[in-house]
Amino acid sequence: MASAARLPVELIRAKRDGESLSADELRGFIAGVTDGSIPDYQVAAMLMAIYFRGMTDGELAAWADAMVRSGDVLDLSAIPRAKIDKHSTGGVGDKISIPLAPAVAACGVAVPMVSGRGLGHTGGTLDKLESIPGFRVDLDTARFAHLVGELGTCLIGQTARVAPADKRLYALRDVTGTVESIPLIASSIMSKKLAEGIDGLVLDCKVGSGAFMKDAERARQLCAAIRAIGHAADKRVTCVLTDMDAPIGNAIGNALEIAESIEVMRGGGPSDTRELTIVLGGEMLWLARVAADSADGQRRIAAALDDGSALDVFRKVVAAQGGDPAVCDRPEAVLPRAAKRVPVTASRAGAITAMASDDIGMAALVLGAGRATKDDVIAPAAGIMLACRPGDRVEAGQPLAELHHDLADDDPRVAAATSRFLGAIEIGPDAPRQRTTRILEIIR
């Protein structure tokens, strides 16, 4: 540039006024976010200006790329297989990563899966895995790369050195009312995924009352932003919009979801959980060009679940990451179990017309399955096992779910969770016609 670089306050004003910032300017701003030279209040003002003005695809690509480069980027080029990951925007009961990564690995694709923890109804994938006695998610990146190469997958947590710019932006967004911005959401997701050294990504974008994206239009906007960032970085990206109006599967809670994931890897499990695993896995195989098309990919994933090869990979992963591999064969003996398992019953007869995911998730959190603040300790065995699905007919007194917890019977959290759960279930005279699939749309 001939002229002097603009100051941070000038960049804020330019974005505020709807101007597009140059790639150099965006990189400079992210550098200042990373090294702390731009103070919190200027970062906050920029985030709010971006909330209102958005970003062009070009801005988004430069901003996300700078976030990736703010930290370490894994080099998995020594692994000859295609490297494909999946990211979900998150939903109650979403344990799909756990059967998915081994199934895709069993089909010959490398899945380098680095996850966060996050707050919410249940723990993240890491917390679920940690409910397996001995399982460690804090492997160093050399060991991680080795296991991805040897076993096809490995599941670990982010180190502080992955996308540090995102860590600062994420913390500030949370307290400045700038979480719900498509370009900021997309760049946050992609900064961490692109740092994994992947060739392609399948995004599972949840849509519905229980999801971050409440409607399909906003979900499509997020997908477009994710794809713009991915394509600028020369990565293949497929986005799958999936329905999140009810919890995924029957298990909500960390150890409960591991058990359900193992059922799926044994060829069983709830039909929606199996479907999501197969469809997302099929897209991953197609992105890797291991399958002829996504239908072929789905057939291969289904076979890996049914013939035990996915479970074989998972058994090796559990062992390699310090866990007890017997969990794959006798989950009920290995996983922690709650002392109390209390049925919650229907107060009247009728048809289940709605099951509000977020309220059910909050009920599980209250029982100990999730964190309300980052310092909360998760109770791995706590959670909810659903005994009904939307559309089911129930009789008065019939169990709708079983609450699993280790609380005293008179602990007010038990009553709170029960009433929260019952408030989430709508029973009407007739059930509306139910979806037979969770898949709403696939954007390849």
Q: How far is the CB of 130 from a copy of itself (least distance, A)?
A: 29
DSSP helix/strand/coil, 321: coil
Answer yes or no: 173 catalytic. Answer: yes
Q: Does 212 bind a copy of itself (CB under 8 A)?
A: no
Assigned token pair, 18: 């709807």
Q: Decide: is 233 part of the binding site for a copy of itself (CB under 8 A).
A: no
DSSP 8-state class, residue 213? B
Q: Which stretch binds a copy of itself (CB under 8 A): 8-16, 121-129, 344-352, 394-402?
A: 8-16
Please pick, among 15, 69, 128, 173, the residue that the annotation labels catalytic. 173
Compute, in degrees rounded to 10, the torsion defined by CA atoms 128, 134, 137, 142. -150
Contact 190, 69 (CB under 8 A): no
Residue 222 binds a copy of itself (CB under 8 A):
no
Q: Assess whether 188 carries a catalytic annotation.
A: yes
- Of the residues 26, 44, 201, 278, which one makes contact with a copy of itself according to CB under 8 A: 44
Structure-derived torsion over alpha carbons of residues 266, 114, 377, 425, reported in degrees to the nearest 10: -60
Residue 177 within binding range of a copy of itself, rule CB under 8 A: yes
Q: Does the footprint of a copy of itself cover residue 39 (CB under 8 A)?
A: yes
Indicate whether 209 belongs to the interface with a copy of itself (CB under 8 A): no
Judged by DSSP in three states, 141 sits in: helix
Active site residue 340: no
The contact pattern for a copy of itself, residues 118-157, with x = CB under 8 A and - = no contact, is ----------------------------------------
Q: How far is the CB of 50 from a copy of itself (least distance, A)?
A: 10
Cβ-based nearer residue to a copy of itself, 14 or 320: 14
Note whether 41 binds a copy of itself by CB under 8 A: yes
| Assigned token pair, 374 | 């980052």
24 in catalytic set: no
Q: Does 47 help bind a copy of itself (rule: CB under 8 A)?
A: yes
- Residue closer to a copy of itself (CB basis): 15 or 227: 15
Is beta strand 200-207 parallel, antiparallel or unpaired with respect to 236-243?
parallel
What torsion do the CA atoms of 408, 334, 370, 413 make, to the nearest 10 degrees? -10
Could you tell me if 249 and 257 are in contact, meaning their C-beta atoms sit under 8 angstroms apart? Answer: yes
- Ranges of H-type helices in 266-306: 271-287, 294-306
In whole angstroms, the minimum distance from the beta carbon of 38 to a copy of itself comes to 10
Q: Which residue has the tokens 């979801």?
A: 257
Q: Tell me the closest approach of the beta carbon of residue 138 to a copy of itself, in angstroms.
A: 30
Cα dist. 343→108, 147, 392, 414 in Å?
43, 41, 17, 12
Applying CB under 8 A, which residues contact a copy of itself?
9-10, 12-13, 16, 39-45, 47-49, 51-52, 172, 174-178
Show which residues are catalytic.
87, 166, 173, 188, 192
